[in-house]
Amino acid sequence: MNSPHLKNGSRQPSPPPKGKLRLYSNRFCPYSQRVVLVLDAKKIAYDVINIDLHSKPDWFYEKSLLGKVPALELENGEVLWESLIISEYLEEKYKAHHLHNQDPLQKAKDRLLIEQFNRVVHAVKRFLTGGLGRFTFDDDDVIENGLNTFERELLNRGTQFFGGNKPGMLDLMIWPWCERVEILKYFGNTNLLKKENYKRLMEWCRKMSEEPSVKKSLMDPDTHIKYLQSYRAGRPDYDTILDS
């Protein structure tokens, strides 16, 4: 997973081994991390090709029409992209280790919460990328209100995870940004994440970080910070992960 990111001019890799899916990813892309989490939770065999998003190889556009990651190459050579679409495909195609609640109403409610979390996603992105993301002062409120919603949701469910006694699809779809929320204080707002206001979410974060399928893609705050500093300087160093 922590392989060098292929750049423009890189040779196209040979086809994936038989019986494996291939994920075109970027180690610092939270959307790609979503798919990694689903693949690992469902114990699906796959390999990873990391792509430099600021210097994409020409051949990558043959795999992903819009040049976006994540992109998942199937065994028949077809390619899917967009994290939610890929995740839903994997859930339906591979029946073992169900991630969605089997109750249709609860599944629908979980999907609504994933959609609702998009406001937090965009606010966190604007915050972490600074001026490049057109940060607004309202983003503090968006993040806090979003986290409050999920704090209450855990209280109402009375479970360790949103998925019950183990992480489900909702847990995995929001985790990449929750992993990054902790570092917001290093980029200008030391008061945003008051742990006493999110006791259940903090415990959820702790338990998520201990899950074997989550540990595989987990990065420590220092690695995130080092990458974001390079991104803000206009020279994103995706391969900084190789030094950590």
The residues that are catalytic are 29
Task: Tell me the C-alpha distance between 156 and 210, whole Å.
Answer: 23
Residue 219 has a CB neighbour count (10 Å cut-off) of 17
Tokens 């949103």 appear where? 162
Give the count of beta carbons closer than 10 Å to the beta carbon of residue 206: 9
DSSP letter for each residue of 155-168: HHHTSSBTTBSS--
50 to each of 33, 188, 218, how far by Cα in Å?
Answer: 12, 30, 16
Return the beta strands (E) in 67-171 as ranges.
71-73, 79-81
DSSP, collapsed to helix, strand or coil, labels residue 152 as helix
CA 68, 71, 72 angle in degrees (round to 5)?
175
